[in-house]
Amino acid sequence: MKIETLFMDSHLKLSEESCYIVDKIGVKPEYVTDSRIVYEHVNSAEDPILKGKQTLYITENHGAVIKKCPGTSHYTCCDYTILHTGTFCTMDCSYCILQAYFHPPVLQYFVGQDKIFSALDSIFEQNKMFRIGTGEFTDSLIWEKMSNQPANLVKKFAQQKMFKQNKSIQNFSILELKTKTVNIDSLKDIDHNRKTIVAWSLNTPAIIKSEERNTASLSARLKAAKKCEQWGYRLAFHFDPLVMYDGCESDYKDVIKSLFENISPDNIAWISLGTFRFMPSLKQIIEKRFPNSKIPYGEFITGLDNKMRYFKPLRIALYQKLVSFIREYDSNVFIYFCMEDKEVWEKTIGYFPAMEGELGKMLDQTLLK
């Protein structure tokens, strides 16, 4: 995290958390009374998106701390729950939807762990299973080097009260930390009680090199995952977005081979698959910021959610290949699709979670094994 400008909300009371972050960043904060000062600072740059990655705004979350993932209309959702701890990311992936989602894109860290923990207590008391993640609007572990928040979240989930159902303990919430980093040091030596899943987005070395600037290499991600496995964590892996290019099937086969050479299938909670899809407005951003990128020029059609998607027969063919590659190493690991329809599910895996909430319940069941 290379922050050039640090803004802090002047309404914030100095706390151990905020002082710790400022000390780690090593940049003198500029106190602001109005967030528009931050937005104008970012928007005035020739490349506001890049400027947004170099500018940190420490503030409070004035909205909902916990919210249900909105999903995408017409495509099956996994019923994820979002823990809103910050926005934007310091890494620079060409396909990142956050470039077009935030106006302007501002890197924000939300202080106030007491507020977060209070919201989690309300969730824990509901005697239901929740899969909760911090990686929807930011990378879960970019903050690990400058904040104790990720480690404290792991401890919080580990300490939740367990509820009994049908004479067995079944109802608990799980934290999923999704990342493309190797920022895991603070997760070591924590009694995590197997209530945290550490998850990595994986792609081919060619895509990581050309489209995922400032992220960890594939080998580094798998090395970090192996360490977390040794520390007793369950793991998850997300092949999303899958990008189509000449030779991609062979490259993805090699990635899957490397994955299972490093990680035991017994410690993988799930693997998700999703092909590259994007809002039409993202294409111009990619063309401007990544002039050598070829990813917006594939065989795309407009999906039911108005996002550009690969032609469905192409998606199905690639999914079938990847599922077969994974099944060569483990026939039981749970595989699911991120935002796909009935035809894709049935032609690739052979079934479709048709009932509302069914996919979420299937994912929950994997946690009880």
C-alpha distances in Å from residue 356, one per residue of 76, 178, 225, 242, 328: 9, 25, 32, 26, 31
Closest to 176 measured CA to CA, from 109, 61, 81: 81
The domain total for the chain is 1
In this prediction, what percent of the chain has a pLDDT beyond 70?
A: 96
Higher pLDDT, 298 or 313: 313
Q: What is the CATH number of the domain that holds 37?
A: 3.80.30.30
Tens of pLDDT, residue by residue over 208-229, are: 999 999 999 999 999 999 999 9
- The 10 Å Cβ neighbour count of residue 306 is 11
Structure confidence at residue 80 (pLDDT)? 85
pLDDT for the residue 128 = 83
Tokens of 42: 């970012």
Using the predicted structure, report yes or no on whether residue 20 has a pLDDT greater than 90: yes
Structure tokens belonging to residue 271:
């693997």
Taking a C-beta distance cutoff of 8 angstroms, is the pair 322, 260 a contact? no
Q: How far is CA 343 from CA 78, 313, 350, 351, 354, in A?
A: 17, 10, 9, 9, 11
Rg for the chain (alpha carbons), in Å? 20
Give the separation between CA 283 and CA 286, rounded to whole angstroms: 5
Would you call 347 exposed, middle or buried from its count of C-beta atoms within 10 A (0-12, 13-18, 19+)?
A: middle
CB 143 within 8 A of CB 107: no
For residue 146, the 8-state DSSP code is T
Per-residue pLDDT band at 164 (split at 50, 70, 90):
low
Q: Which residue has the tokens 């939740």?
A: 160
pLDDT tens-digit series, residues 79-107: 789 999 999 999 999 999 999 887 788 99
In the prediction, which pLDDT does 306 show?
Answer: 87
Tell me the percentage of the chain whose pLDDT exceeds 90. Answer: 79
- Reply yes or no on whether the pLDDT at 74 is more than 80: no
Determine how many CB atoms are found less than 10 A away from the CB of residue 354: 10
Q: Which helix (H) or strand (E) is 98 found in, with range?
A: helix 98-101
What is the model's pLDDT at position 42? 96
pLDDT grade, residue 360 (50/70/90)? confident
Q: What is the mean pLDDT of residues 147-166?
A: 84
Q: Can you give the residue range of the structural domain that contains 32?
A: 5-366
Residue of 239 and 359 predicted with greater confidence: 239
Contact 339, 76 (CB under 8 A): yes
Listed in order, strand segments (DSSP E) in the chain are 5-9, 30-32, 55-59, 66-68, 81-83, 86-87, 92-93, 107-110, 130-133, 163-165, 168-171, 173-179, 196-201, 212-213, 234-242, 268-275, 277-278, 300-302, 308-310, 335-337
240, 202 Cβ separation under 8 angstroms: no
